[in-house]
Amino acid sequence: MSKAALEKLQATFGDAILETHSDCGDDTALVKAESWKPICEFLRKDPQLDFDYLVDLCGVDYPERAAQKQRIEVVLHLCSIGKRHRLRLKARVGSGEDEELEGAEIDSVTSIWPGANWFERETYDMLGVTFRGHPDMRRILMYPEFVGHPLLKTYPAQRTQPLVAYRTEEEAGVPLEKQAPFGDDEGLAFPRNDHDRDAEDPRTKLNPHKTEAI
C-alpha cells in the first residue's frame, strides 16, 4: 500500500478529503460525495498513481448516521497493476429512517472503469444507492418486483416478500386461459397467511382478471 497516494490526494483536493487512516495496512480516504467523480478521475489519470484496476465497489449501511445525511457508506477499492499499490476510497450519502432513503445518490464511475457497471448495479440493488450517470441502473441479483433493499440494516432478515402478481392480459399479450394455471393460492397446497400486512400493496392482489374470466 502506499501512503504517497493519500498524501497526494490531500495535497490536490484539500478540504474534499475528510479523513484518512491506514488501519491494518489498508490506506483509506473518506471523501466528500460531491467530489467523488473528480477524485476518481484524478486517481485514474495521474501518471504516478495510475489506478487502472477497480477491485471492488460496495456499500455499508449505518442507520445511526442518517441525521448527518451520511447513512450509506460507498466503499471503493482500487489497485494499480503496474505501480502495485492499493487504496480504499469512501464517501457517505443519504439520509432517512427505516427503509425510506433520501438523497442516496452519488456519481457513477463507469465512465472511468467500465468494470464498475455491475458493482454499482449490485450496490443499488442491495442498498438503494442510485448512481448518477450509470448506463443501466437496474436490479441485478434480485428480481424487478422485489420490494426494498435487503442489505439495509433496517430490512428485517425474516421478511417475506409479496408474491409477484400475474401479468394482465394486456401486458402479457396472451389470453388469460393460456397463462399459468394457478389460482389465487399460487398453486400451494396450504394457504399462506404471511402476506396480510402487505394487503394494501396492489401487487399482492393476485390476478383480479382470473376470477372474472371464469
Partner 1 sequence: MEPLDLELEEGELELPSEPMHLNMGPAHPAMHGTVRCVLELSGETIVKADVQIGYLHRGFEKMCERGTWAQVFPYADRLNYVSPMLNNVGYALAVEKLCGIEVPERCQWYRMALGELARISDHLTCTGAMAMELGAFTPFLWFVKARDMIWDILEEETGARLTHSFGRIGGMAAPPTAAFKELCKGSLPQVLHLMEEGEAMLLKNRIFLDRLEGVGTISGADAVALSWTGPCLRASGIPYDVRRVYPYLKYDEVDFDVPVGKNGDNLDRFLVRLQELRQSMRIIAQVLDRMADDGPVNAYAPGVMLPEKHDVYTTIEATIQHFKLVMEGAKVPKGEVYSYTEGGNGELGFYLVSDGSGTPYRVRIRPPCYPITGGLQKLITGAMLSDIIPTFGSLNMIGGECDH
Provide the binding-site residues for partner 1, judged by CB under 8 A. Answer: 23-26, 28, 52-56, 58, 60, 75, 77, 81, 84, 88, 113-119, 122, 126, 139-143, 150-151, 155, 157
Name residue 105's beta-bridge partners: 130
**Cβ 54 to partner 1 shortest distance, Å:** 5
Minimum Å gap between C-beta 200 and partner 1 is 26
Q: Which is nearer to partner 1, 139 or 195 (CB)?
A: 139
Q: CA 140, CA 6: separation in Å to the nearest integer?
A: 33
197-202 long-range contacts, CB within 8 A, separation 24+: 198/162, 201/147, 201/162, 202/165
Q: Which residues contact residue 62 at a Cβ distance below 8 angstroms, ignoring those fewer than 6 apart?
A: 70, 71, 72, 73, 153
Q: What angle do CA 183, 184, 185 make, to 5 degrees?
A: 90
CA 81-83-85 angle, to 5 degrees, is 80
Nearer to partner 1, 12 or 99 (CB): 99
Cell 432478515 found at: 157
Instruction: Measure CA of the first residue to CA of the last residue in the chain; give whole Å.
Output: 68
Q: Cβ contacts of residue 45 below 8 Å, gap of 6+?
A: none
Nearer to partner 1, 22 or 168 (CB): 22
* Shortest Cβ 140–partner 1 spacing (Å): 6
Number of C-alpha atoms within 13 angstroms, CB side, residue 90?
Answer: 19
CB of 27 to partner 1, least distance (A): 10
- Minimum CB separation of residue 214 from partner 1 in Å reads 30
In this complex, which beta carbon is closest to partner 1, that of residue 137 or of residue 140? 140
114 vs 183 by CB, closer to partner 1:
114
Task: Please state the closest distance from residue 205 (CB atom) to partner 1, in A.
Answer: 26
Q: Which is nearer to partner 1, 114 or 202 (CB)?
A: 114
